[in-house]
Amino acid sequence: MSNDLRLRRKAMIQELVSLGIMDQKVLEAMERVKRHRFVDEALQAQAYTNNALPIGFGQTISNPYTVALFTSLLQLEPGLKVLEVGTGSGYQAAVMAEIGAEVFTIERVKNLYLCALKRLNALRYFAISLKYGDGSLGWPKESPFERIIVTAGSPKVPAPLLENLSEAGVLLAPVYNGSGDSQRLVRIRKDKGTFFSKDLGPVNFVRLIGRHAWQVDELER
């Protein structure tokens, strides 16, 4: 990696601090992950700006602040078992793996899944397990998960994901409001079998497609 990109990555970390990210584990993880390896070569010069970037198939890699914020809100510790719905480029999964989480991630777009699988293997993120399929169904075989992160917006939190959440687990998901034209980030904690939800404010993600999310025919109306 060129020294120029390394300096840009350090500048990205400084910007995250200025924006209020204080979780040292998250900052250190994001300084280690080479974000430019998760975008097309033509976009690598923009990799360390605080912008979402296209990764093809109508999907994006979230801006660094959003990745840092979501990761901080998960309150990750080494060894925690995490389910990610929406692998995308694999960047968010890599950041969580750098903290020491055991990451399971699902992607419904086959080409993105294949690219992420190849990329994460090349970067030696062997603690990340990838699956091609409908993320709204969760990953029952590997559940329960102590943390679940959803990186696409749905009409409500898919029921299978709540079923996959462990006791005292935390789930983060963008959810559309009643009119379906804006999203709110919700944080759900499970305590003695009861789910407690907190609204953390507006967010903007692509829509989650699946049996327990948006149906393809709904998007075509």
User: Which residues have a catalytic role annotated?
Assistant: 62
The length of the chain, given as a count of residues: 221
The candidate with the shortest Cα–Cα distance to 105, out of 81, 83, 120, is 83
